[in-house]
Amino acid sequence: MTPNPSRRLVLGAAASVPLALTLGTSAAHAADSAYVMAYFTESTSLGLGTDYGLHLAVSTDGLRWMPLNQNNPVVTPTEGAGGLRDPFILRKQDGTFVVLATDLKGTDWSYNSQYIHVWNSADLRTFTGYHRLKLHDMVTHSWAPEAFWDAGRGQYGILYSSVNASGHNVIMVNYTTDFVTVSAPQVFFDPGYDVIDGNLTVGVNGVNYLYFKKDQTLVGARSTTLAPGSFTPFSTAAAHGGTEAPTVVKSLTSNTWYLWGDKGG
């Protein structure tokens, strides 16, 4: 069976003008002209074509994608489970990139890891500084890590899903300046039921939006601050069959925003 990019599909605009120089540009960049997708491949049978390394693809419209490196992984974890899921790319304040990913190879959802995979990259061609970053001491997982810049704190927040003392998945947060050391974990969002795959969009007309997976649907919460515990659900559920891994993306050519999800959950 032909493998498809799976779970946590399009993860941030990280392209520069001109498109031919999308990957490999310096830290100073012009207006974005394309999207980059971070993904892994997983066939239905978990057989041929399944690969839990970091793959990249580019697109100018978010609809038609070109895999890079002949759809081979550009880097593969060497620690922990030896594979990744849910890769996420953030362009940092200095114009370079950090890649975060779940420490999990395959579909053993009972596998516990207090760590996530981390790489640095100046250009999305080379990946350096690989390490696993410990986020907590709980006997649980650290799924679908994402990061955002909290200007008020002068730090990055790392969001991820874990089962805490509540007995269900909540969205946790740790703060960092370097993705090497982190603050103690805090509960960022707990609506009282199981939530995973938190995706945060900061500062849209003074409002911050957190989309997440509830059951097999995508739901949004919002807050005028980035304080842990300040987000309140507001949207109706969106889904196309079983849907997970919400990603909110702004059009590169207009003020339109899109909510993307992975129909693979």
Q: In this structure, are residues 197 and 161 in contact, taking their beta carbons and an 8 Å threshold?
A: yes
- 135 falls within a domain: yes
Q: How far apart are CA 239 and CA 265, in angstroms?
A: 11
- Could you report the per-residue pLDDT of 207-260, keeping only the tens digit for each? 999 999 999 999 999 999 999 999 999 999 999 889 999 999 998 988 999 999
Decide if pLDDT at 10 tops 70.
Answer: no
In a domain, 5, yes or no: no
Q: Does 219 map to a domain?
A: yes
Q: Are the CB atoms for 153 and 160 separated by under 8 Å? A: no
Q: Has residue 3 been placed in a domain?
A: no
Tell me how far the alpha carbon of residue 240 is from its chain's centroid.
20
* CA distance linking residue 57 with residue 120, whole number of Å: 18
Tell me, yes or no, whether 109 lies in a domain.
yes
Q: Quick check: is 191 in a domain?
A: yes
Assign 69 to helix, strand or coil: helix
For the segment 64-73, the average pLDDT, to the nearest whole number, is 94
**pLDDT number for residue 113:** 98
Structural domain span for residue 122: 77-262
Q: Is 240 within the bounds of a domain?
A: yes
| β-sheet bridge partners, residue 257 | 250
CATH number of the domain encompassing residue 108: 2.115.10.20
Q: What is the pLDDT of residues 82-135, one digit of tens each?
A: 999 999 999 999 999 999 999 999 999 999 999 999 999 999 999 999 999 999
Question: Domain count of the chain?
Answer: 1
pLDDT, averaged across the chain: 87
Residue 66 sits at the vertex; the CA angle it makes with 63 and 69, to the nearest 5 degrees, is 155
